Structure 1
Amino acid sequence: MRWFLLFVTIAAATQLRQPKAWWKEGVVYQVYPASFKESRSAEDAIGWGDINGIFENLDHIQMLGADIIWLSPFYDSPLFDLGYDISNYTSVNAKFGGSLKDIKKFIHEVHKRGMRCIFDLVINHTSDDHPWFKESKSSVTSPKRDWYFWRQPQYKNGTRYPPNNWVGYNGESAWVWDKHTGEYYLGIFSPYQVDLNWDNPDVREAVYQDALRIWLDMGIDGFRIDVISYYSKTPGLPNVPANDDGFYSGAQFYVNGPNEHKYLQEMNQKVLSHYDAFTVGEYANATTNMTIMQEYVGAHRREIDTIFYFNMVGIGRSGYEPIPWNLSTWRDTLVFNDAIRSSGRGDGWNTVFLENHDTPRSVSIFGDDSPEYRVQSAKLLSMLLSTLSGTLFLFQGQELGMINVPSTWNISDYQDYLSQSYYDGVKTAGGNTSQALSNVQKLARDNARMPFNWNSTYGFSANKTAWLPQVHPEINLADQMTDSDSVYNFWRSMLDLRKYNKDLFVYGDLEFVDNESETFMVYRKTAGCECVLVVLNFSDQVDRCPVAIPKGARLLAGTHRKTLGKHFEAFEGRVYRY
């Protein structure tokens, strides 16, 4: 009888474990094409990365230990938002090479190495230069008029006002006046990124065909889906309750809208389910509501596979305002993120990441980017990410411990329109522009978008004038490849450790052993009878671990070659198996 009960217990535990999948165990490396590598000759180089430059350097990504490449937008675009304003879903921007042949070659080269690739899917909005919008804008009677949101103005005492009081990401009205037809159109992200009307079935079918099927049929392995929670808007597009004529966030009316999940399930049923495709959605709004997360990633719901939980990269900031952070906040965030894939909460799956094209560099935010501690900080964060369960995402340059742009940059050095809008808004309001510039240096998206440093003379392009200023030549791949103690080689070793211990580091359960320390993060990872203890010192001081290291524990990995026993060096991390 006891053997039967033991069998039932084991069977039940097995049923609760997450089913394994290639996209769960894979390490995803995000390539930002404009900044990765330019292949053009000195005569033709324009200081802008291209598709050929990517597949000529696939060996670097593979040697690092990545299995999946996420390619940020390369489509035709006016590049107002660096490709997230698409004017043609089925063609390649000339700056990136301009040829579908280049993309097909990239896909082939990736698959030849046994790797996979996913593309960015930007379908909440199109560029105002897209043929769909041009036709929609041509006349109030255009067949494509309701492919976007058009509304008549309001008049108050003879003054024209937008249809509602929603604010856009640029700090002004989310509505743009079109003099030609005498109506406003909706562009929440910018006047140049026009929201598609997903309530129109013709829009959805056009998106499925032009933005999904064409690339899946070409052989790609899935999508990173931009702003996945914005597709469905509340009918009537109501005003935000207010007592003045100001503009306010209308997120309550366009995030997690009434038909959001219906549309995602339809996209899965009509398109994604017919391919072995991996999907990760960008949920750009902070939340601690587990129900919301499970509604997107629950496997039984058949919407998307996993999601970017932005609370992780939102620590230490409020918009463009840096705010204090502590390890207690991090622990709470990591516990919530890990619970997304917990069998007790549902059947979803989580991601693990600290950087992408929209974030500053993690070493500059969560570590110490001074020359004294940059390397140690980068290794510590590598150990953190590599030992957390979920699908792991890295952004180009993160493997080198790249840091933020220099504090000497002027506002004119930044290319990102959000940084420019924030700074201009502070200036217009008579605020402290020196503080605003300091905030931009800490939090701007351009921090991640700087050209990749291939060697000590940059090596990004034969044109010495890149689209963004090239900085920090001392942080480069060539030097780190030959340095056994470099950030790059530490990342390689940690990714190897993760792959050889998938049950622990990809699927294992997380439990914090200490919940009080504001300098140490200490947690246990378990998988069946296997157990490891991860100890991370997030301070610049030598300190003693707040918990006892288990007797007989064996050091599995460490950020420092020499350890001080119970005491940890500044930004030192260790992994013990016991």
Structure 2
Amino acid sequence: MVNAPTSAKQPPSWWRDAGGVTLYQIYPSSFKDDNGDGLGDLRGIINKLDYIKSLGVDGIWLCPHYKSPRVDEGYDISDYNGIHEPFGTLEDCLELIEAVHARGMKILFDLVINHCSDQHEWFKESRSSKTNPKRDWFYWKPPRMIDGVRHPPNNWRSCFGGSVWEWDEHTQEYYLHYFCPEQPDFNWENPEVRRALFDSAILFWLDRGVDGFRIDTVNMYSKHLEFPDAPVVAPDTPWQPAGQFFSNGPRLREFLREMRKEAFSKYDCFTIGECPNTPSLEKILSYISTDSEALDCTIQFCVVDLDHQGGKYPLMRTDWKLSEFKRLTAFMQQLADPEHKAHALTYLENHDQARCVSRFASDAPEHRLASSKMLATHLLTLSGSLIIYEGQEIGMINAPKDWDIDQEYLDVNTINTWKEIKADAEATNDPSLLERGRAGIQLTARDHSRTPMQWDSSEHAGFSKDLKPGAKPWYRVMESYAEGLNVAAQDGDAKSTLNFYRSMMRLRKAHADVFVTGRFKLHDPQGEETVVYTKAAQDGSRTALVALNFTANKQPFTVPAELEGKEGSLLVSTLAKDGANRELEAYEARVYLY
């Protein structure tokens, strides 16, 4: 089960030789409950591998399944080598790896090593005393005293609200946590920490056949050790957004190169680094170009952050323009240009994002099918590697607006943000803040992607069958499963979103020179109704024209001048209209091949 070693400079063959791969992301809690306890599990995933294979994807990315108190749904790991008990056992996990490989697919795990759980033995030792050998495995600071009053070392707001510093009564110091207080950040300055993480979290799993990692918050390892106060942009709170200090610290590239040399390079391993707060192409390339010898590609947030603002209320919705969506898409597609010696990766949904149909198109019943196919066309015609998130392939949508946020929404970020909004609305007697906050959560909260996968029209959407006495699905199942948004209903429907994803995956592979490795060129960048771009094979032999309508009204589109007069064939039309008509129906997508 151990892969053959490769040198540090040799690019991993299994993904790069194809020009890119498509991964199916699985959120274990919500994918499939096999044992009737209301929680998804590894056995449920194993039993659905043939379904995943049928999509035409190249592999899966499995969200954290490690032992964890699950304060942040598994991103607070208490044992990198153990399995969260409700999910199964280590033997189940090894069987999953083997079963994925038996179907000709690859499997990536989530690598979460910026922080761990406060229940991890390493942190328990660290907080036991100031003289413990593992004290400096984490960041500890004395209080800042102002007029005799104890304050945290700086004013940074954590990603989930409140201070990034948590007071420890036992040792009378603060420890650093960029996320929940239960997620203390590792001190990567300590070489013992790095070695322990390489051995425990990376090599342990590569030795057991894992093919790569999606690496959580990879650009937060190197801290700005001076920990300066952030500029005050929210004067009504002591905690200020500090994204510019959270990411891309001075030693990051050094740490990433060491991690590649000491761990990743020993295997044919694909690495996807999550890099928030990194808008610079030069900075991205410093991590993922082949010359950098660090990461293979990156998850960016620029497109998926368009509809909500950062700052004090990170889920508050904001208006966005399609021209900006296009600009950012073109920006990220630059990474696929051969001259950059890098690799592009694109996604529209994941476990941290709400459903793309609800956010970027329309989830109105009359437009759901067209919207889901239009967005699928966009995603599956972009160059490089792609991620499809569970349920995206059947067009799952956001939770209904009549769901009670206090009762039905379970994500820690949603809970904390909603609490702040309610408190501030009451303190300022501003009911409009409450309504804007509610609308933002209904559009952008992470909860929308974490509701159970919708398998069929039976009770609980087929996610849980034969529930044990007293058990129920851990998240409320969305009622849309009864409206055709389920796998069984779509499987035999040739016109369904599910079968459209399957056909587009076949098309993508059949024309890989255009869709996987082709050159992206955006046309009409300022238009706010349609997205039009071309994908040209590197040898110039063929070009695809992609035209997408992002509105509920008919829209004209223009064929680029360089293609006028050339004979093109209609390869895809989501509404099966006449390809000669230069007017797109509501949320229609077309692809022509020249």
- C-alpha distance in 1 between matches for 2:401 and 2:231: 40
> Letter of the aligned partner of 2:397 in structure 1?
I
CA contact (8 A) 1:313 1:359 kept: yes
Q: Which residue of 2 aligns with 1:480?
A: 490
Task: State the shift of 1:300 in Å.
Answer: 1.1
Within a 5 Å distance, the mapping from 1:147-546 to structure 2 comes to 147-240=137-230, 246-285=238-277, 287=279, 289-318=280-309, 319-344=314-339, 346-411=340-405, 412-430=407-425, 431=430, 432-457=433-458, 458-462=461-465, 463=467, 465-471=472-478, 472-473=480-481, 474=483, 475-527=485-537, 528=539, 529-546=541-558
The TM-score normalised by the length of structure 2 is 0.91
Percent identity at matched positions?
A: 40
Q: Secondary structure at the match of 2:220?
A: coil
- C-alpha distance in 2 between matches for 1:224 and 1:508: 25
Assess, with a 3 A threshold, how the Cα gap between structure 1 residues 211 and 204 changes in structure 2: closer, same or farther: same
Q: Which residue of 1 aligns with 2:90?
A: 100
Q: Secondary structure at the match of 1:317?
A: coil
Tell me which of 29, 32, 35 is aligned to 1:34. 29
Count of residues paired in the alignment: 554
CA contact (8 A) 1:327 1:519 kept: yes
Mean CA deviation greater in 228-237 or 367-376 = 228-237
Q: Which residue of 2 aligns with 1:13?
A: none
Task: State the shift of 1:253 in Å.
Answer: 3.0
- C-alpha distance in 2 between matches for 1:486 and 1:20: 29
Assess, with a 3 A threshold, how the Cα gap between structure 1 residues 413 and 429 changes in structure 2: closer, same or farther: same
Instruction: Report the RMSD for the aligned CA atoms in angstroms.
Output: 1.7
Give deviations 1:229-277, integer Å, cap 9, x for gaps.
Answer: 1000122323335598822233333311011010000000011111000
Give deviations 1:482-535, integer Å, cap 9, x for gaps.
Answer: 110000000001010001111111110011232232111111110121111111
Q: Which residue of 2 aligns with 1:15?
A: none
CA contact (8 A) 1:410 1:437 kept: no
> Letter of the aligned partner of 2:464 in structure 1?
S
- C-alpha distance in 1 between matches for 2:96 and 2:57: 16
Q: Which residue of 2 aligns with 1:567?
A: 583
CA contact (8 A) 1:25 1:502 kept: no
- C-alpha distance in 2 between matches for 1:496 and 1:110: 20
Assess, with a 3 A threshold, how the Cα gap between structure 1 residues 20 and 460 changes in structure 2: closer, same or farther: closer
Give deviations 1:97-125, integer Å, cap 9, x for gaps.
Answer: 1x110011000000001100000000000
CA contact (8 A) 1:517 1:546 kept: no
Task: State the shift of 1:22 in Å.
Answer: 4.8
- C-alpha distance in 1 between matches for 2:242 and 2:365: 43
Assess, with a 3 A threshold, how the Cα gap between structure 1 residues 537 and 422 changes in structure 2: closer, same or farther: same
- C-alpha distance in 1 between matches for 2:402 and 2:56: 35
CA contact (8 A) 1:514 1:547 kept: no
Q: Which residue of 2 aligns with 1:576?
A: 592
Assess, with a 3 A threshold, how the Cα gap between structure 1 residues 247 and 563 changes in structure 2: closer, same or farther: same
Task: State the shift of 1:24 in Å.
Answer: 4.1
> Letter of the aligned partner of 1:206 in structure 2?
A
CA contact (8 A) 1:374 1:401 kept: yes
CA contact (8 A) 1:23 1:391 kept: no
- C-alpha distance in 1 between matches for 2:524 and 2:230: 43
Assess, with a 3 A threshold, how the Cα gap between structure 1 residues 183 and 451 changes in structure 2: closer, same or farther: same
> Letter of the aligned partner of 1:452 in structure 2?
M
Within a 5 Å distance, the mapping from 1:133-148 to structure 2 comes to 133-148=123-138
CA contact (8 A) 1:361 1:447 kept: yes
Q: Secondary structure at the match of 2:514?
A: helix
Q: Does 2:572 correspond to 1:557?
A: yes
CA contact (8 A) 1:139 1:145 kept: yes
